[in-house]
Structure 1
Amino acid sequence: MTPGLPPAMDRPHFIGIGGAGMSGIAKILAQRGAHVAGSDARESATADALRERGATVHIGHDAAHLATDASAVVVSSAIREDNPELTAAKERGVPVVHRSDALASLMTGLRPIAVAGTHGKTTTTSMLAVSLSALGLDPSYAIGGDLDAPGSNAHHGEGEIFVAEADESDRSFHKYAPEVAIVLNVELDHHANYASMDEIYDSFETFTGKVVPGGTLVIAADQSGAVELTRRIRDLSGLKVVTYGESESADVRIHKVTPRGLSSEVTVLLDGKLLTFTVSVPGRHYAHNAVAALAAGVALGIPAHNLASALGKYTGVKRRLQLKGEAAGVQVIDSYAHHPTEMNADLEAIRGAAGDSRILVVFQPHLFSRTQELGVEMGQALALADGSVVLDIYPAREDPIPGITSELIIDAARAAGADVTPEHAKDAVPDVIAGMARPGDLVLTMGAGDVTDLGPRILDRLSNNSDR
């Protein structure tokens, strides 16, 4: 099956083409034969990967970058209205397409699986992509993170299945009409766009209502927000609901999760039979993600035992407890966790795998609005570590909020008994960690911003120490 190019997408221009979501769509369009161009704020491995696939990538934002024959301009919610390329597109009458509409158009004629939830979307989407590929089904997929190399966040496959990460942050997941939808959890986040849990529930209700008639919703049976959403949509006609989790009432019940170092053995009860498989990343929450992927695949008609075996092929995705290396007897691991629930889950997973090793965290808060609402809980999560270095807030698309700084997190962490070191200079962190770490320790770089850049630098600094 080879879908063609969506309307007006033969010569698209992406503003922010290096972003995780944007680059995936650009890659698929390039693979389908489109002449792809775009711009990004800085050079990156992703930009290079797109160029290797024939895309034109400009660095910096300038109206001159928009080609005269551009068929459409693709934007995300992060692009500001005064962006010069966006302004030029409007002046010239070039159609402006939101990223979610572009992604939705790529799914036309295929069997989409849309993975939603406050946490775990990238991991679960990746698990599905890897396992379906291992079964020879050659799915198309668009993921919010790289599997094993820059540019591996998306693929145009010849199969009939399209697996997509469905982003709730700006309500863009309302654009999709999946055959199977997954809801991993429902929590309050993205405070710039959602003022209350009721707004969150309304948004997820809209998403589940987009499932095609006769389609399936796979939803967590253990997480309170997901349970409430299930209650709210129980009268939705034409929707099959499959619950998964450790609850005795779950349709796909997690019977046991057994830690095996940096992996887990998972046993589920499905259709009255026990099924055991391996998940090659540690932690109960990753086991739950794998079971959600299993349930979704079964909903598409894939034999459970085949899919369970294929899920063992998944070895992780960048930034999701990714081992960056070891130096001077210290392992450095990268974590994308930036919400308190994610922080707790990753720290508990590492604690379970680390034995008696000390855990040191370099945490970079992400967004002023999130810190304002959840900073206390972030600080409390850091109490699970043996020591933490807390950086300044990574602003991403936001302007500062008066009075909201990392001190909110630091104060909460200390109140919870955590050992915390504030550090305003990111460049100083490798030296700080080198002074704290000793052989046998685990260091986590944690956050959704550019804290990930520190992993290799910490390893270099530790290695230099050991050479002296």
Structure 2
Amino acid sequence: MNLDNIHNVYFIGIGGIGMSALARYFHAKNKRVAGYDKTQTDITDGLESIGIQVHFKDSVANIPDAFLNYDTTLVVYTPAIPKDNMELVYFKNEPSFTVLKRSQILGIITENTYCLAVAGTHGKTTTTSILGHLLNECNVPVTAFLGGISENYNSNLILNGTEVSVVEADEFDRSFLTLSPDLACITSMDADHLDIYGDASELVKSFEDFSKRVKENGKLFVKNGLPLKGITYGIEDSSDYAIQNIKIEKGAYVFDVNTPKTTLENLQFNLPGRHNLSNALIALAMAVEYGCPHQQLAKALASYKGVKRRFSYHIKTEDLVFIDDYAHHPEEINAVHQAVREMYPEKQVLAIFQPHLFSRTRDFADDFAKSLSKFDNILLLEIYPARELPIEGVSSKWLLDKIENNNKQLINKSEIISKIKESKAQIILTIGAGDIGEEVKHIKQALSVAS
């Protein structure tokens, strides 16, 4: 498919983080862009602010007339959209229209570029944003599609040219099998999305299939310990790319990196947590293999600020710290806990968690309970359903009963602020991939006024 012949791009689910990055990309390419989403958010407000039309009622009547011409219109949808969505049904029932998934569009965009793809059940968004930032700062003509809002660019799209692309290789719905990267990495293969895969072995097989998508002369990087062959990376081990001599100075990591050819000394990275350090390492390794100068990479790594909702500080004082994180899998919660304990070993921590999906809560209930039990205090919200209907017997109360910590409570979102104010904790965490992120600004405002 030749995207140059497309004049209009219509998005069903335009407010999704990956969809909105594509919408911004096509808008920057001077295409007419519009779309539907069920909820108005900061993301949709941002799209409208640059001239993209967005509406919030699922109705064919709301589709702008210009997008009803099948000769010039491409329709893009996300698998998160229900199959009975009226607009999606309309376009799919009109065989003249080209209707493609977001992942298929990424496949088309990247097939004619030098593509760097980041796969893994955890760490994709942060790693992709670090990698995009490193290449951009090294003046590489790159387009990076991010699964989160970069703090450096206040956007989920880095657009500095079209010769090189950086993408998240998403295992959900096996989307990453549309890609054919030149350089790819796999950060992790923990069980997830079992509503799609059925069991963990099928998920592992999909990563094996993805590894075979790397081009013939390309390179695959894998975290040390994963059951795949490739260039290895790890922390304080004998990997091909290995971080050594880690120190913490003024809240930042300072370390060396052994590469297959040399050692990069005294690198600085400002995000806390060993998981983020691992993400920084693989992004650095891919940028080195691409050919970026070491000195420029060191400077770029030190200037990286992070991704919104990935261990994002909203209040950081001696007496009170408020951090928000997107973690929605037990291993991600463990990573958040490790980072907090490493940076604030003596302080009391209150974690407010909103489970995401009934199926994920069911599949990992015992692991969630174990992860959450590590915090000093736990406030649990009701499950955010996203694309799912309730599952009998699966509820936040059911999960709460499994948590082995007496300082736990099930609350409504309306109670968050009052419960925080009652707490004596000095570290406040909001955790989850649902709409808990919408509460952050209210919590920050309430705590700022209180202090």
Per the TM alignment, residue 332 of structure 1 is displaced from its structure 2 partner at its CA by: 1.2
2:435 matched residue in structure 1: 450
* Correspondence 1:217-232 to 2 at 5 A: 217-222=220-225, 226=226, 228-230=227-229
2:86 matched residue in structure 1: 84
Count of aligned positions: 444
Secondary structure of the residue that 1:153 maps to in structure 2? strand
C-alpha separation in 1, matches of 2:378 and 2:349 = 9
Secondary structure of the residue that 2:403 maps to in structure 1? helix
1:15 equivalent in alignment to 2:18: no
* Correspondence 1:45-124 to 2 at 5 A: 45-66=42-63, 67-69=67-69, 71-93=73-95, 94-124=97-127
Task: Give the counterpart letter for 2:422 in structure 1.
Answer: G
Task: Give the counterpart letter for 1:358 in structure 2.
Answer: Q
For structure 1, list consecutive stretches of 5 or more residues without a partner in the other structure: 231-240
- Identical pairs, percent: 35
C-alpha separation in 2, matches of 1:413 and 1:280 = 32
C-alpha separation in 1, matches of 2:187 and 2:6 = 32
How has the CA–CA distance of structure 1 residues 205 and 431 changed in structure 2, closer, same or farther, with 3 Å as cutoff? same
C-alpha separation in 1, matches of 2:284 and 2:151 = 22
2:374 matched residue in structure 1: 384
Task: Give the counterpart letter for 1:68 in structure 2.
Answer: L
Task: Give the counterpart letter for 1:64 in structure 2.
Answer: A
C-alpha separation in 2, matches of 1:149 and 1:75 = 28
Given the alignment, which residue of 238, 253, 272 partners 1:264?
Answer: 253
Secondary structure of the residue that 2:328 maps to in structure 1? coil
2:357 matched residue in structure 1: 367
Q: Is the 8 A contact 1:101 1:175 kept in 2?
A: yes
Per the TM alignment, residue 98 of structure 1 is displaced from its structure 2 partner at its CA by: 0.6
Q: Is the 8 A contact 2:177 2:209 kept in 1?
A: yes
Q: Is the 8 A contact 1:24 1:151 kept in 2?
A: no
How has the CA–CA distance of structure 1 residues 19 and 262 changed in structure 2, closer, same or farther, with 3 Å as cutoff? farther
1:233 matched residue in structure 2: none
TM-score by length of 1: 0.90
Per the TM alignment, residue 134 of structure 1 is displaced from its structure 2 partner at its CA by: 1.4
CA offset digits 1:281-318 (Å, max 9, x no partner): 01111111111011111221223443233211111110
1:279 matched residue in structure 2: 269
Per the TM alignment, residue 409 of structure 1 is displaced from its structure 2 partner at its CA by: 2.5
C-alpha separation in 1, matches of 2:150 and 2:56 = 25
For structure 2, list consecutive stretches of 5 or more residues without a partner in the other structure: none
C-alpha separation in 2, matches of 1:253 and 1:287 = 11
C-alpha separation in 2, matches of 1:397 and 1:137 = 38
Q: Is the 8 A contact 1:219 1:242 kept in 2?
A: yes
Q: Is the 8 A contact 2:254 2:269 kept in 1?
A: yes
- For the aligned residue pairs, the C-alpha RMSD in angstroms reads 2.0
Secondary structure of the residue that 1:92 maps to in structure 2? coil
Q: Is the 8 A contact 1:336 1:448 kept in 2?
A: yes
1:313 matched residue in structure 2: 303
Per the TM alignment, residue 151 of structure 1 is displaced from its structure 2 partner at its CA by: 6.5
Secondary structure of the residue that 2:418 maps to in structure 1? helix
Per the TM alignment, residue 150 of structure 1 is displaced from its structure 2 partner at its CA by: 9.1
Given the alignment, which residue of 226, 239, 243 partners 1:250?
Answer: 239
1:433 matched residue in structure 2: 420
Given the alignment, which residue of 21, 32, 36 partners 1:35?
Answer: 32
TM-score by length of 2: 0.93
Q: Is the 8 A contact 1:320 1:335 kept in 2?
A: yes
C-alpha separation in 2, matches of 1:262 and 1:77 = 40
